[in-house]
Structure 1
């Protein structure tokens, strides 16, 4: 008696197996009969888009809530993202057979990870931490001691990990262990380079974190939808789904969005004021000239159906155009690099923590490139143009000891006296 699942279809050679029921594939003869030119995976394509859109809505909503909560919560979000990225990358070259022979070896990776975290954030936020605890003398002394011996502490932890690694070396496992040691350090460089610049941007003003991050999200979404509906011409072999139509449409959308978002974000002190300590209170500051509107009158020939003849533009919007250009043209290469990396290791995604998007690393590939550029651009072109007396005083308070501040005060007094007597 024949099993129906293995029987041949009528009129077909006995060696062929009947097509499985429920397959999404459209039989060629059916497509020809109906004049149908549907894509093979057309149904799954739309299902994938819906899953991706659903996840995106949740991510954007959660992101907006964290931005509302403030600097410390954004920093905490960055730390969580780092941990997920490190986990995904640690697992990429993990081999279960070798790991079973090396108990505690994975713990060593996380030891180096948290040592790097202590070094990077302790160095970056030490003065803000001191400013937070100035009212409590005991806590102030403890924190001051930590700041003073921060580098020694981190070095001790690193050396402890180094000795731990040497003591766990096992015969016939040397190559695997040293490759994992090198891989761990590469992960730390990739993850903490990006995150260090990101956190620095956050405390300079949420604006300098939010705008670049938003532009990458907008570019990614726009590229997906333009490519989905209009994509015809392949862009790069590393990413077969990327198209020129998606790339160009996303670039135009991102640059326009950069100009408009900068105007919207730049009007809120919560987003533009730097955070001088690690508290969560409301911020009040002089935003500086970049966030003070300049007014332009539109020429008579320019159609202004929905606009007033006089429009207000924040100077920071011109900087935003350059950020938008970078997010459109250069930052996507972070994604292409990640695509090539995944192809080298023959994986589809770095993880599966975000439905429809892959892992956290898949979402952060372009953000890493953008965060570094945003920090360098801000320090090189924005800070010199946006200096105010309040900002200069902040730098003196944040970065100089009491003795150095006293020396600055004395020196300024001498300069003012010399100028006063010189003019008289």
Structure 2
């Protein structure tokens, strides 16, 4: 059945989704399918969904329509977090033929006995309590960096979050399997690995609800640093209460780990952090930032923050704004709170009007631009190493330094997936650091 059949993928959401899409794509290729781009004609389109924001939910229908424009007879499959949370809703979308839940998505090819279009999407979705086993994943071939999944699920009960409902309990890959995957990635010539998961600082919990940590995240970091052939390792996002001093100190002296941390904050108000049921208060967050900057003065620190959470008064929002303004951080990822079914927050009083949420989001995004600019300016004059990526964007090739400064230089395909040490000298009109070669290097 798979002879000459073509499959295309679209991924919404986080780095973890990208790693899982890549792994699922390889399972299709192993069955004889040919992978094509999503804007090409395919027999099967797989959409990996996200449930973090309303926008991701709404985009799903648009993506379905764009797939059907390529081939109206194509078989459409929805997988991912939204598919687990709202399978019937997705199955009812015109053109969707199959919806697979949290555990079923990794066995997608097992369900493809017949590619005839269905009047109503067929649902295969487990109860989330059954998502108690671990499937390792990593993305390659999509970009210069590989996303390596080390952990899945979450045991935290943040009052705004549906991820535990969509992905189940916290569970981890074995240390040996992660090291094996890291070696595989390095052997393919990929220069950078980004560690990803739902709550990677909680790494070590075994399968089937075993809460004993076989290894800690610190032990994982130490082991990965010894893998030969990896030029860069990056920690994608880690909770402040799980980012221990020993990890910070190790990264500062590491062979491969880069000075870049992304640490979710969500609010700069202790009152709201308690309502969110976060596992730290502002003081802990401040201590983490100070510890990083003491060990690595040039480190880049990214922050997740939510605006418009129930009970966020003007005063509490300004408390967050002023806290972030004074904190030595490099950029923000701003999320506008959206009501999610089956969360505690949806029942809370003090609902913030949408217009106010939008205004606050705009203020924090403006602050992020200012913070990023200040961080880039602080790096001018420094010699840093840039890993160039593969896209030609309006005549330029882009790359990132080890501490996540985005650099552009006139397009030269020989620079793709190569590392170059350069001195940062000027920031262009678009806010990126521009580098002009006196002599463009020849790459072997």
TM bracket (short chain): under 0.3
Structure with bigger RCO (C-alpha 8 Å, 6+ apart): 1
Considering fraction of residues, name the structure with more helix.
Answer: 1
| Bigger Rg over Cα | 1
Q: TM-score, normalised by structure 2?
A: 0.22
TM-score, length basis structure 1: 0.23
